[in-house]
């Protein structure tokens, strides 16, 4: 199936199926929504627990739940230590995975 796409408002694509590839009774226009990945969400948190392999359990902002976070590469490279109780800056994953600790305050 061949699609020709146009970017609309940098939030979604409008794709038009070529006439010879359209399904009978199917839509000729398909809309793909893309998530804005330009800037990750950055928040402050407090380290609650240190886990193996430079993983940490971090309580983010005013939330009651804690999130799992890993140490960023530059912090590993320069051997910056993070201990339980430290305030840290965390970049949250837009897909809900692990967060990244980017700075120790």
Q: Which residue stretches of the chain have pLDDT < 70? A: 1-38
pLDDT, tens only, 7-30? 444 445 555 555 555 555 555 555
Which helix H or strand E contains 74, and what residues bound it? Answer: helix 73-77
Give the integer Cα–Cα distance in Å for 15 and 17. Answer: 7
Yes or no: domain 41-104 corresponds to CATH 2.40.50.140: yes
Residue-level pLDDT at 94: 80
pTM over 0.85: no
Q: Using CA atoms, how far apart are residues 9 and 12, in angstroms rounded to an integer?
A: 7
Domain with CATH 2.40.50.140 in the chain: 41-104
- Between the CA of residue 83 and those of 46, 48, 49, 71, 74, what are the distances in Å? 10, 9, 8, 12, 17
């Amino acid at each position: 199936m061949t699609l020709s796409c146009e970017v609309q408002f940098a939030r979604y694509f409008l794709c038009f199926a070529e006439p010879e590839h359209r399904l009978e009774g199917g839509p000729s226009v398909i809309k793909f929504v893309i998530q804005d990945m330009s800037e990750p969400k950055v928040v402050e948190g407090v380290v609650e627990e240190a886990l193996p392999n430079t993983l940490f359990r971090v309580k983010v902002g005013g939330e009651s739940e804690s999130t799992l976070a890993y140490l960023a590469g530059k912090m590993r490279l320069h051997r910056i230590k993070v201990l339980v109780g430290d305030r840290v800056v965390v970049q949250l994953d837009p897909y809900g995975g692990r967060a990244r600790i980017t700075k120790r305050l």
